[in-house]
Structure 1
Amino acid sequence: MDEKGSWKECTATQRACPLEPAFVWTATANLAPLVTVKGCDSLVDNTGFCSWLLWGSVPAASGGGREVEQSLRLRWLAEAVCFPQALLPSRFLRWEAVEGQEQEAEAVLTYGGVCVRAIFRFDRFDRAASMRTRDFLRRRSNGTFDADGEWRVDYSGHMLFGLSRQGPVTHAELSTPLGIHIPTQINASWVFPDGTRFSSARFTIAKVTAE
């Protein structure tokens, strides 16, 4: 959704690395009849960049730098629920308890000398239900960055992806060794200090493959 409250539908493909924070996301969206835009967000070798082109060739928006890279690290962390082996403790990721919250844990990602934090909430089946952070920087239309508010990602529609037939998850399926359960609906939004909420993106996961 843009700042005027208008939803734009797009089709996207993402290639992500579960071993370290890295991904390349490409998308095509229709802004208006006969007006398409192609975008690419990437975090590779600790360098982040975003680029959007009208009709795939005319520059429309682009950006990089420290602020973009910080937010892209958090985006990789938020989307790691789709390749959950990336969420295991490692040389760059550790987990800390959240005081008084048994269903929550804070992920601390330190990579390239930069540390970002996000709190995950899990449902009664230990599946990721949401993530929230104040380290994600919101980029405004004028190119400036705003740290006011909380970036929240909600997960739902968990399904089994793997060797067995894909289908809705039931409690009995959670113990199967034939695949992994990941959310098929990911909704990202901003929650501002006054309590208002701005929904910025909604994604439906249609296919997951491993290489």
Structure 2
Amino acid sequence: MTHNSMNTPTPLPELIEKWLSHSRVENKPTPSKVLLQQKGRMKTSPKGKWMKFTANQEYRVKEPAFLWEAKVELFPFVHLSGRDELKNGRGEMLIKLLSFIAVVHEKDNYEVNTGTLLRYLGEICWFPQAAREPYLRWETIGEKSARAYFTQGDLTVEGLFSFSSEGRLLSFEAMRYYGGEKPAKLREWYIEILEEKDFEGSRLPSHCRVTWKLPEGDFDWLELQVTKVQHEY
């Protein structure tokens, strides 16, 4: 994807430049790989119980990809293992009981592919330098928000990033297919940044809450703490 006939990058909106500055990455190159360690709790349904989890995630930035592998405590001595993957613009989700009984396995359909792309887009908060990459296009919305368009192959997804006046990222929201209904319906998917910390000299999110905005009310399904961020160049 080119931005103009000279194939030179379009300047980033001032709001995004302010975000890079606030994050202390404005003078850092774009990493080739990013590794995260995470812990937190999640629900599988609005009325379900909270379950603790730990996870490792690896991102590729120049050619967008990620692999998220989690272990979820279902009951004492009973766990689920989850894997969410983006590769070559296509998504795959696999959940296993006791690490070997497949409970959910979905891949390479429109709902999963777009959902996985939206997840990657929302998670560039851990490597904001990706905002400069040619697969993203930005549009300023008002004084404190910017809409990003993320293209991979024949698919384009979009989401809204909102910031404080100082350039701190506050939230990301997008319309995403909610898997709790058949057929799946588009629902608002909302990520709120609750805290940020210093990781390798960069100021990045350390505590997030993810919510589905459903007709019957908000479904807070994930609370996430990031314990380690490692960038490789």
Tell me the equivalent position of 2:163. Answer: 122
Whole-Å separation in 2 of the counterparts to 1:6 and 1:143: 22
Greater length-normalized contact order (CA 8 Å, ≥ 6 residues apart)? 2
The answer to whether the 8 A contact 2:61-2:130 is kept is yes
- The structural deviation recorded for 1:193 is 4.7
Whole-Å separation in 2 of the counterparts to 1:46 and 1:77: 12
2:130 to 53, 70, 86: 86
**What are the superposed Cα offsets for residues 153-174 of structure 1, whole Å, 9 maximum, x if unpaired?**
1112111111xxxxxxxxxxxx
Amino acid at match of 2:140: A
1:160 to 180, 184, 198: 198
Is 2:217 aligned against 1:145? no
Amino acid at match of 1:154: E
Whole-Å separation in 2 of the counterparts to 1:47 and 1:73: 8
Tell me the equivalent position of 2:115. Answer: 71
- The 5 Å alignment of 1:173-188 reads 179-188=201-210
- Secondary structure, counterpart of 1:126 in structure 2: coil
**What are the superposed Cα offsets for residues 13-50 of structure 1, whole Å, 9 maximum, x if unpaired?**
00011223310000001111221111110001122100
Shift >6 Å, 4+ stretches: none
- Secondary structure, counterpart of 2:228 in structure 1: coil
- The structural deviation recorded for 1:54 is 1.1
Unpaired runs of at least 5, structure 2: 1-42
Whole-Å separation in 2 of the counterparts to 1:156 and 1:180: 17
TM norm structure 2: 0.77
Tell me the equivalent position of 1:45. Answer: 88
Per the alignment, do residues 54 and 5 of structure 1 end up closer, same or farther by CA in structure 2, a change over 3 Å counting? closer
- Secondary structure, counterpart of 2:72 in structure 1: strand
- Secondary structure, counterpart of 1:207 in structure 2: strand
The answer to whether the 8 A contact 2:65-2:85 is kept is yes
Whole-Å separation in 1 of the counterparts to 2:156 and 2:100: 35
Whole-Å separation in 2 of the counterparts to 1:143 and 1:15: 31
Amino acid at match of 1:106: R
Tell me the equivalent position of 1:17. Answer: 60
Tell me the equivalent position of 2:154. Answer: 113
The answer to whether the 8 A contact 2:90-2:116 is kept is no
Whole-Å separation in 2 of the counterparts to 1:69 and 1:156: 27
- The structural deviation recorded for 1:68 is 0.3
Whole-Å separation in 1 of the counterparts to 2:156 and 2:130: 17
2:104 to 32, 55, 61: 61
The answer to whether the 8 A contact 1:130-1:155 is kept is yes
Whole-Å separation in 2 of the counterparts to 1:34 and 1:106: 43
Structure (1 or 2) with the greater strand fraction? 2
Unpaired runs of at least 5, structure 1: 163-178
Whole-Å separation in 2 of the counterparts to 1:91 and 1:183: 24
Per the alignment, do residues 55 and 192 of structure 1 end up closer, same or farther by CA in structure 2, a change over 3 Å counting? closer
